[in-house]
Amino acid sequence: MIDLVAKGDFAGAYRLQSKERNAGRPVMHRDEIRRPIWDRIVSAADRYNDPGKFTAFIGYEYTSAPNRNNLHRVVMFRDGGDKTGQVLPLSAVESSDPEQLWAYLENYEKTTGGRALAIPHNGNLSNGRMFDDVTFTGAPLSADYARRRQRWEPLYEVTQIKGDGETHPLLSTRDEFADYYRWDRGNFGTELKTPAMLPREYARQALQRGLAYEAKLGVNPFKFGMIGSSDSHTSLAGTAEDNFFGKVSPMEPGGGDVRYDEAIIVPLEKMDGTRQFGYESLASGLVGVWARANTREEIFDAMMRREVFATTGTRLRLRMFASWNFTAADKDAPDLARVAYAKGVPMGSDLTGGGATPTFLVEAMRDPDGANLDRIQIVKGWIDSAGKMQERVFDVAWSGNRKVGKGGKLPPVGNSVKGATYTNTIGAPVLSAYWRDPTHRAGERAFYYARVLEIPTPTWLAYDMVQIGQRSLPKDAKLIHQERGYGSPIWVGSR
């Protein structure tokens, strides 16, 4: 393999490494190789970490993919090299079972006094395994499993380059914005998708099923805040539509048609229907964290309490609070955050107690260099009196003078896109709302999260047509979309 690398045949070296690993001979997985690599990673993060200005976390990706079903996790440490340097990362070579990863993290904390967490990747390529009804080994979910998963995986990556994972149009049939960059053909190339897999892959349905499990087990195994990440393999932070460098190096600008034709999901055997191409990628995503300071400690602690939000690459800002006694006047308070924290709880929290009806304050601000906002929505999920999972999307704030029409539908915001340009002549730079849930029932257990939509803007493919003169795009290529942000849920009702 070293000879192949020396010859510049990196793809050949990767194929050989994969072949040997699949045969049970992980040629690179030796401590004498792993230790210096890990030490360099730890050293680099510590060297560039500048508290208050630039925070560099130490972490790695755990690439579990049993039968090529994506169960990847990102592992993040709160600590510096004095603690993380005492260990080596646990990889899928040791075990593909996420419970073994949790055991590794627990042992890390016990032996070093440090802190760690794991963040599951977008589950749309897991073929129903990410939020399954059984454990990795096939056992029914238990209260202990639920407690451990909630402890070690407080967050979930809801959007990234390989598709958006909030919900699916077959699951949220009344949600007009559910059909957003679906990657729903299969897993990593060995098995086609079936409709039965979908509820165990998407965030909204996992949150609903978490409520059902909480009623059964007393603990919610799928209780998470929502973040976005890029998952690019280029070492470049290119989530902006007008500066997108692709999933992998061959997809960088100037690479010709391979930028669009590159198969990100490469099918094996006779599963060509699982193939997904570069042109179907999102220039996504980002995580926003409401932390008290720009330090490892404060950002990590905010992530543990789930006070985070996801975006599809835009740098909009979003926050939501819940209380039993917010008033309409609170929305216009000049110190909204102080009022909201004093009277309620932030996203990622539980609102408990015996109030009559939950009230919410939600606010969104556009990317300073980006597009205006179309609307803010609040998504509610609950279990009805018959034990059936329910969901509903409420428009709570919107730009312009639009009026809600028949069936409660808000008219579209409009469209100013021309080629690779748009104007902020529509939409609003800031939106906010005070909202009471008109459907709330006494004693009901439900979750609520905010979704904010930008006005229509060009995609990276539209920018490519102008910036590098690309013309030969597939007929189903998306040239216009509405970028969005997802807030973390607030759970309301008794636990």
Give the chain's largest Cα–Cα span. Answer: 70
Compute the distance between CA of residue 208 and CA of residue 211 in angstroms, rounded to an integer: 5
What does the alpha-carbon distance between residue 96 and residue 22 come to, in Å, rounded to a whole number?
A: 13
Query: What is the 3-class SS of 115-171, one letter each residue?
Result: CEEEEECCHHHCCCCCCCCECCCCCECCHHHHHHHHHHCCEEEEEECCEECCCCCCC
Cβ neighbours around 380 below 10 Å, total: 20
The structure tokens listed for 278 are: 């570069």
Token pair 């963040």: residue:
119
Does residue 86 have a pLDDT over 70? Answer: yes
pLDDT of 2 over the 90 cut: no
- List pLDDT tens digits, range 28-52: 788 898 999 999 999 999 999 999 9
Predicted local distance difference test score (pLDDT) of residue 278: 93
**Domain chopping of the chain, boundaries:** 2-178+185-228, 287-492
Question: What values do phi and psi take at 70, rounded to 5?
Answer: -75, 110
Q: Report the distance separating Cα 234 and Cα 242, nearest Å.
A: 16
| pLDDT of 470 above 90 | no
pLDDT of the residue at 19: 74
d(CA 121, CA 105) in angstroms, rounded, equals 17
Report residue 401's pLDDT band, with 50, 70 and 90 as the boundaries. Answer: very high
Whether the CB-CB separation of 229 and 285 falls below 8 Å is answered with: yes
Residue 495 has pLDDT above 70, yes or no: no
Q: How far apart are CA 477 and CA 461, in angstroms?
A: 8
Helix (H) or strand (E) holding 363: strand 359-365
> Mean pLDDT of all residues in the chain?
94
Q: What is the pLDDT of residues 57-85, one digit of tens each?
A: 999 999 999 999 999 999 999 999 999 99
pLDDT at site 7: 81
**In contact, 116 and 154? CB cutoff 8 Å:** no
pLDDT per residue as tens digits for the range 281-298: 999 999 999 999 999 999
pTM recorded for the entire structure: 0.94
pLDDT at position 385 is 86
Average pLDDT value for residue range 195-211 = 97
4-8, 106-110, 313-317: range with lowest mean pLDDT: 4-8
Q: Is 314 left (phi over 0), alpha (psi -120 to 50) or beta?
A: beta
Q: Which residues of 472-490 are buried (b: 16+ CB within 10 A; e: fewer)?
A: ebeeebbbebbbbbbbbbb
Q: How far apart are the first and last CA of the chain?
A: 54
Would you state the pLDDT for residue 494?
65
